[in-house]
């Protein structure tokens, strides 16, 4: 558990591995209000109690690089047991049984999880977590759960 300082010496977001757990706010009385997502009440603590409960370095802001996507062949999340190269939100399956997701909670751009073969100008190409619209534009095969499965199917088609 660590914090990311939002307003210098006044406001911190409490995180663990990039997941927001709560906030800490310094009050005018120099106490700290702690609001955790799973808590019912706001907890007000003096500095000593805060560091005793959350560790002496809780207010030492840590800047964490959050992975939101990875390269071809690596996965960071999954949708309906298909790999995703992005942190997936709004997970589901569409009417064509394609596992779909968005890259943020509010995004309107839909991606298809898994590996696909796309037919471009007479040649089959490997694709990973393509935009869902791409599958409507080109002939495709998939989804596949592994790159190896996709490559085997493309080799079979090309014989």
pLDDT in tens, 57-92: 899 887 655 555 556 666 788 999 999 988 899 999
Q: What is the pLDDT of residue 112?
A: 97
Whether 69 contacts 112, CB under 8 Å: no
Nearest to 118 by CA among 93, 144, 97, 92: 144
Task: Note whether residue 70 is domain-resident.
Answer: no
Helix (H, G, I), strand (E, B) or coil at 54: helix
Q: Tell me the residue range of the domain where 11 lies.
A: 2-54
DSSP β-bridge partners for residue 89: 102
- Rounded to whole angstroms, how far apart are CA atoms 100 and 67? 19
Same domain, yes or no, for 94 and 154? Answer: yes
| CB environment 134-159: b (16+ within 10 A), e (fewer) | ebeeeebbbbbbeeeebeebbeeeee
Do 93 and 50 lie in one domain? The reply is no
Phi, psi of 148 (to 5 degrees): -65, -40
* Together in a domain, 94 and 152: yes
Residues 18-33 pLDDT 10s: 778 889 999 999 999 9
CA distances for 84 relative to 33, 69, 109, 127, 137, angstroms: 37, 8, 15, 12, 21
pTM, two decimal places: 0.57
Q: What is 130-143 written as a DSSP string?
A: -BHHHHHHSEEEEE
What phi and psi, each to the nearest 5 degrees, are found at residue 88?
-95, 135
* Domain count of the fold of the chain: 2
Considering the domain boundaries, does residue 122 fall inside one? yes
Is there a single domain that holds both residue 94 and residue 134?
Answer: yes
Q: Is the dihedral of CA 106, 89, 80, 130 positive or negative?
A: positive
Q: In this structure, are 81 and 140 located in the same domain?
A: yes
**Residue 71 belongs to a domain:** no
Residues 106 and 139 in one domain: yes
């Amino acid at each position: 558990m660590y914090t990311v300082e939002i307003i210098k010496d006044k406001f911190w977001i409490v995180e663990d591995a990039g997941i927001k757990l709560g906030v800490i706010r310094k009050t005018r009385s120099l106490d700290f209000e702690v609001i955790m997502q799973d808590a019912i009440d706001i907890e007000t603590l003096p500095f000593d109690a805060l560091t005793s409960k959350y560790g002496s370095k809780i207010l030492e802001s840590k800047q964490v690089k959050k992975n939101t996507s990875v390269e071809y062949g690596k996965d960071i999340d999954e949708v309906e047991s298909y790999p995703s190269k992005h942190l997936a939100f709004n997970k589901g399956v569409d009417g064509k049984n394609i596992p779909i997701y968005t890259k943020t909670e509010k995004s309107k751009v839909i991606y298809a999880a898994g590996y696909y073969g796309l037919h471009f100008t007479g040649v089959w190409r490997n694709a990973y977590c393509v935009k869902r619209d791409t599958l409507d534009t080109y002939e495709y095969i998939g989804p596949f759960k592994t790159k190896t499965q996709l490559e085997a199917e493309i080799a079979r088609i090309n014989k």
